[in-house]
A and B are shown apart, each in its own frame.
Chain A
Amino acid sequence: MRDHAFTFPLPNGLHARPASQLSEQAAAFETTIAFHNDRNGTSANARSVLELVATNTQAGDPCRVTFDGADEDAAHEVLRRWIDDVLPGCDEPLSAAESGATGKIPRALRELKVERAIVGIPVSSGIGLGVAVVVGREEIPESAFPAKAESPSDESRHFHAVLAQLSSEYDAEISNAHSTDEREIVKAHRALLLDPALKRRVEARIAAGADAARATRDTIQDLVQELAGSESAYLRERVLDLRDVGDRLVRRLLGIEASDRIPALTAPSVIVADTLGPAEFLQLDRSLLRGLLIGDGGTTSHTVILAKSFGIPTLCGLGAAASCIGPGEEVVVDARAGVAVPEPSGAVRTHYERRLAHEERMAGIRRSWIQVEAATADNERIFLFANISSAEEAEAAFANGADGIGLFRTEMLFVGREAPSEDEQAAIYERTVRAAAGRPVTFRTLDVGGDKPVPGFTVAHEENPFLGRRGVRLYEKHADVVKTQLRAMLRAAAGAEGVKIMFPMIACVEEMRLCRELLAQAAEELTALGVEAGKVSAGMMLEVPAAAFAISELAEHAEFFSIGSNDLAQYFLAADRGDSSLAALHSPFHPSFIRLLRQIVEAARSADRPLGICGGIAGESEALALLVGLGIRQLSMAAPLIPGTKASLARLTLAACQESAQAALECPDEATARRAAVASRNDTPWIEPGLVLLDVEAESKPGAIRAMIDALESAGRTADADALEEAIWNREDAYATGFGNGFAIPHAKTDAVLSNSIVVARLTKPIDWGSIDDGPVSVILMMAVRDSQKDAHLRSLAKLSRLLMRDEFRERLAGDSSPDSLSAFLLESLG
Chain B
Amino acid sequence: MNIVAVTACPTGIAHTYMAAEQLEKTAKSLGHSIKVETQGAMGIENELSESDISAADAVIFAVDIDVEQRDRFEGKTIVEVPVKEAIRNPAAIFEKLA
A interface with B by C-beta (< 8 Å): 731, 734-735, 737, 739-740, 745, 747-749, 772-773, 783, 785, 789, 791, 794-795, 797-799, 801-802, 804-806
Contacts and interface: CB of A to CB of B under 8 A. Distances in A.
Interface in B62-95: 64, 84, 87-88
Contact of B88 (A731, A772, A795): A772
B32 interface: no
B interface, over-half SS:
helix
Contacts of A747: 11, 13-14
Nearest to B22: A805
B61 interface: no
Contacts of B87: 739-740, 772, 805
Nearest first, the 7 closest Cβ-Cβ pairs linking A and B are A802-B21, A801-B17, A798-B17, A805-B21, A772-B84, A801-B14, A772-B88
Nearest to B43: A791
B42 A794 contact: yes
A801 B13 contact: yes
Max count, chain A CB within 10 A of own CB: residue among B22, B25, B42: B42
A772 B19 CA distance: 13
B20 interface: yes
Given A749-B41, A805-B22, A798 B13 contact: yes
Nearest to B20: A802
Contact of A740 (B20, B42, B64, B88): B88
A800 to B, nearest CB: 8
Interface of B: 10-11, 13-18, 20-22, 25, 38, 40-42, 64, 84, 87-88
Contacts of A804: 18
B38 A798 contact: yes
Nearest to A804: B18
B41 A805 contact: no
B97 to A, nearest CB: 20
10 contacts: A734-B64, A737-B15, A739-B15, A739-B84, A747-B11, A772-B87, A794-B40, A797-B13, A798-B42, A801-B17
Contacts of B22: 805
Contacts of A749: 11, 13, 41
Contacts of A773: 88
A731 B10 contact: yes
Contacts of A789: 41
Nearest to A795: B42
Given A735-B84, A749-B41, A797 B14 contact: yes
Contacts of A739: 15, 18, 84, 87-88
Max count, chain B CB within 10 A of own CB: residue among A740, A747, A798: A798
Nearest to B18: A801
Contact of A801 (B15, B42, B84, B88): B15
Contacts of B17: 797-799, 801-802
A808 to B, nearest CB: 13
A121 to B, nearest CB: 36
Contacts of B11: 731, 747-749
Contacts of B20: 802
Contacts of A795: 42
Contacts of B84: 735, 739, 772
Nearest to A781: B14
A745 B17 CA distance: 13
Contacts of A802: 17-18, 20-21
Given A740-B88, A772-B84, A772-B88, A785 B13 contact: yes
A805 B20 CA distance: 10
A254 to B, nearest CB: 70
A798 B17 CA distance: 6
A806 B21 CA distance: 9
A29 to B, nearest CB: 70
A791 B43 CA distance: 9
Given A794-B42, A797-B13, A801-B15, 11 more contacts: A734-B64, A735-B64, A739-B15, A739-B88, A740-B88, A747-B13, A747-B14, A785-B13, A797-B14, A798-B38, A805-B22
A795 B12 CA distance: 11
